[in-house]
Structure 1
Amino acid sequence: MFGIALAASAALATPVAGALGYRRIRQARNARLMRIDTQNGIDERGFVRIGGLDHWISIRGEDLGNPVMLEIHGGPGASNAPYGARTRAWEKHFTIVRWDMRGTSKTLGRTGVDGQGELSFDRLYQDALEVTRHALARLGVDQVILVANSFGSVFGLRLARRHPELYSAYVGTDQNINDGVLDDSVRQALLARLRAAGKSKDVAVVERMGPDRTAWTAEQFSAYAKLVVTSDPLTFDTMKTVVVRSLLFSPLHSLRDVKYFFKGMKLSEQIVPATAAFDDWADGTTFDLPFFIFQGDQDVLTAPELAKRFFDDVQAPVKDFALIRGAAHFASFRQPEQFLDLMLTKVRPVVTGRRSVAVG
């Protein structure tokens, strides 16, 4: 979802003094958890030239014979790389490709703000195509499973529509559905929460924005997202306990990387306004590949009701929709075991032509 830098910063309440020692202990524990030492495994990370810019890409899995899963992260600017320890079990069944988009985290830290080149939706879309082709060539496979979360799913739908030859299936989670700004239910739900909490100043801010998101600035999108996150207890708790802690305790991220994570989220907010008028129904509901949406049942950022409405209109060779229980936004990372079970029971059998694999 768009513009969560301010909300993430608000969730970053860990005191610096006295916390660094604990951070090192947790990083070491996660490094041991994330170690891959299987004979046919892969643990590869570094910078790859994509679209004229060095992008950070990691490829991890216990068996190169497993299906490949390419993630398109959200934000924009919110890398999925910090979740490695939470999603370690996924790597027993899938080879996972994670990529920091331009303007994001380690890619941003490589050359700084001035070295990122064009930051636009179209440029990032072209980067995603190039990353896909890099993953296919590097791993010697014909297709990958495209897994897109949050704002990444705005790219994901367009990649899946236009290039079914590259992807064995599409999986959207925290699925972002655009309908040409007709649906105002999420904003209305936010207003109801703010009124119930007596937040009259925040109510006035949201009311002044109005329902037409095409008229919002990047700063307004960011302020709106902060209010959505902080007004919902489960979403804000997820930001603190899943997003921020995963980043702080990631063995792959230095304190410098933490700084660039938040800097990238703020920088990338400029991409959002150009997508406000997108209409996924007008772009097409026919997909020539298996199509799945796995949504948090309590997501107040990307409402499951809107995702289900779009899903019901989708025509695809195979399709399935499921709710992830006890999850708001960042559902796959809040409930990684449930997400893995869905991938194994619904997606993997379709892309491999084999029966589902038990978790464990």
Structure 2
Amino acid sequence: MLAAVISATAGATVAAPVAGLLAQRAIVRSRHARGLRITGSRGIDAQDFVRIGGLEQWISVRGEDRANPVVVELHGGPGSSNAILTGVSRAWERHVTLVRWDMRGTGKTLRRSGADGQGELSFGRLVRDAVEVVEHVRERLGVQRVVLLGCSFGSAIAMRVARSRPDLVGAYVGTDQKIFDGGRDTSDYFAALDRLERAGKKKELAVVREMGPDQRAWSAEQFSHFSRFASATDPHTFAAMKSVVMKSLWYSPLHSLREIVTFFKSFMVSAAVLPGTARLDDRADGTRFDVPFFVVQGACDLVNTPTRARAFFDDVRAPVKEFTLIEDAGHFAVYRRPDLFLDLLLTRVLPTLPDAVRR
């Protein structure tokens, strides 16, 4: 979804002298690698490939104490691996075991089998994969249920898992919450047109106007165009991409230079999923959840607006539910303010878990 913003900020990075840039990267990556070490006997730090949906997919499991609750995170995009953000969320791992997964078409999973080896790239397949990942984590870590953290596009997947499989999920947390409405609400389309016009982006404006507001008629390429233009004209999202995502990508000790290239390629490969989402309707699928339901949204998010997320949240029926805004933040709000999110996790989400889940 945010490939263009990433590309734009990457341009400034590679403009620096290459030798000095690589030397600085090596120093910072080494420092970050030391900060990521988990050395205690009760901890876990494992990254490997697991066969999910007939495909070898990359899964990371990290935490300071195996007895802590387990959080399974589903990244956004599609194609936007959160593995690069391990350093940003390092403090979370003192309180939870954090599981990350590069979905098919993304990151290390994409690099493992190549673009032609990803199998079925569809929203339904990603949902089924997510269920398999949670089942794998339950068996691997010996837990009954997990906290399911869905980020942006991943929140649409996570929400479906939480709704249909409450036996696997102790609590649902959606951030940058994505809501599908079957194409009824076109306000995001016209808001993006307005931002493009005010920014004087004539070429981009012409492209979006030609697409029209009905996403059900868009191709994968058109979805990508719209996401790029909408994101690039959202100042808070653009700032987060520069200060959080691009910096994390460049200095990630878990990613080689070749894997940085794969990170960009993931957006193009995963775009094939998007046309199949245009007719999805979250309200039609149901607003009852048998698990605690939390939404954490950037107050200034223009990509997945808090207004749309709040409207759906108000219709949700759940044992516990809570909606939180992070002020002065747009998309990637919880990674812009990981301290605030950790506080929310500790004081609001984890206390709702049964003792058997909290261990």
Structure 1 and Structure 2 fold alike (TM over 0.5):
yes
Q: Once the two structures are superposed, what CA deviation does each residue of 1:273-296 show, in whole Å capped at 9, x if it has no partner?
A: 100111111110000111000011
Corresponding position: 1:282 with 2:280: no
1:74 corresponding residue in structure 2: 76
* CA shift digits 1:222-248 (9 cap, x unpaired): 111111111122211211221111111
Q: Is the 8 A contact 2:62 2:93 kept in 1?
A: yes
C-alpha deviation, 1:73, in angstroms: 0.7
Once the two structures are TM-superposed, the CA of residue 198 in structure 1 deviates from its matched residue by 2.4
Report what 1:144 is aligned to: 146
**Equivalence for 1:8:** 6
The match for 1:40 is 42
Which stretch of structure 1 is more off in the superposition, 255-264 or 179-188? 179-188
Q: Matched residues in 2 for 1:252 and 1:10: separation?
A: 23
Of residues 210, 217, 220, the one that matches 1:218 is 220
Structure 1 segments of 4+ aligned residues over 3 angstroms from their partners: none
Q: How does 1:157-168 map to 2 (within 5 A)?
A: 157-168=159-170
Distance in 1 between the 2:203 and 2:104 partners? 36
Q: 2:261 aligns with which of 259, 262, 266?
A: 259
Question: Which residue type is aligned with residue 120 of structure 1?
Answer: S
Task: Confirm or deny: 8 A CA contact 2:4 2:232 kept in the other structure.
Answer: no
- Structure 1 residue 212: deviation in Å? 0.7
1:237-269 Cα deviation digits (max 9, x unpaired): 211221111111110000111111111111000
CA distance in 2, matches of 1:202, 1:45: 40
For 1:51, which of 44, 53, 57 is the aligned residue?
53
Aligned pair partner of 1:198 in 186, 189, 200:
200
Instruction: Note the C-alpha offset of 1:353.
Output: 5.4
Aligned partner letter, 1:108: L
Question: 1:57: how far off?
Answer: 0.6
Kindly provide the CA deviation profile for residues 117-167 of structure 1, in whole angstroms up to 9, marking residues without a partner as x: 121112221111111111000000000000000111111111111001100
The residue that corresponds to 2:273 in the other structure is 271
Query: What root-mean-square deviation, in Å, do the aligned CA atoms of Structure 1 and Structure 2 show?
Result: 1.5
Give the deviation of 1:11 after TM superposition. Answer: 1.9
Identity %: 54
Q: Deviations over 1:38-89 (max 9, x none)?
A: 2311111111111221111110001111110001111111111000100000
**How far apart, CA to CA, are the structure 1 residues paired with 2:110 and 2:203?**
35
Partner in structure 1 of residue 239 of structure 2: 237
Paired position in structure 2 for 1:180 = 182
Any stretches of 5+ residues in structure 1 without a counterpart? Answer: none
Aligned with 2:178: secondary structure? coil
1:248-327 alignment to 2 at 5 Å? Answer: 248-327=250-329
Would you say the 8 A contact 1:298–1:327 is kept in 2? yes
Q: Which amino acid aligns with 1:301?
A: V
Instruction: Give the one of 338, 346, 349 matched to 1:347.
Output: 349
SS of alignment partner, residue 353 of structure 2 = helix
Gaps of 5+ in 2: none
| Residue 326 (structure 1) shift | 2.1
Greater Cα shift, 294-303 or 122-131? 122-131
* Secondary structure of 2:252's aligned partner: coil
Which one-letter code corresponds to 2:332 in the other structure?
Answer: F
Secondary structure, aligned partner of 1:12: helix
> What SS is found at the alignment partner of 1:71?
strand
Output aligned runs, 1:100-111, within 5 Å: 100-111=102-113
1:182-238 deviation line (CA, Å, top 9, x unaligned): 112222222222222222332222222211110111111111111111112221121
- For residue 26 of structure 1, what is the aligned residue in structure 2? 28
1:70 counterpart SS class:
strand
Contact 2:4–2:229 (CA<8 Å) still a contact in 1? no
Between the aligned partners of 2:111 and 2:201, the Cα distance in structure 1 is 38
How far apart are the structure 2 equivalents of 1:184 and 1:326?
25
User: What is the deviation of 1:306?
Assistant: 0.4
More deviation in 269-278 or 225-234? 225-234
Shift in CA distance, 35/333, structure 1 to aligned 2, threshold 3 Å: same
Instruction: Report Cα offsets for 1:20-52 as digits up to 9, x if no partner.
Output: 111111111111111112231111111111122
- 1:303-340 deviations in Å (ceiling 9; x for gaps): 00000000000000110000112211111111111111
Instruction: Give, in angstroms, the shift of residue 352 of structure 1.
Output: 4.7
Alpha-carbon distance in 2 for matches of 1:353, 1:212: 47
Contact persistence 1:67–1:352 (CA under 8 A) = no
- Equivalent position SS for 1:19: helix
Letter in 1 for 2:241: M
Paired residues of 2:196 and 2:205 also in contact (CA < 8 A):
yes
Cα deviation for residue 107 of structure 1 reads 0.7
Match runs of 1:79-98 below 5 Å: 79-98=81-100
1:65 maps to which residue?
Answer: 67
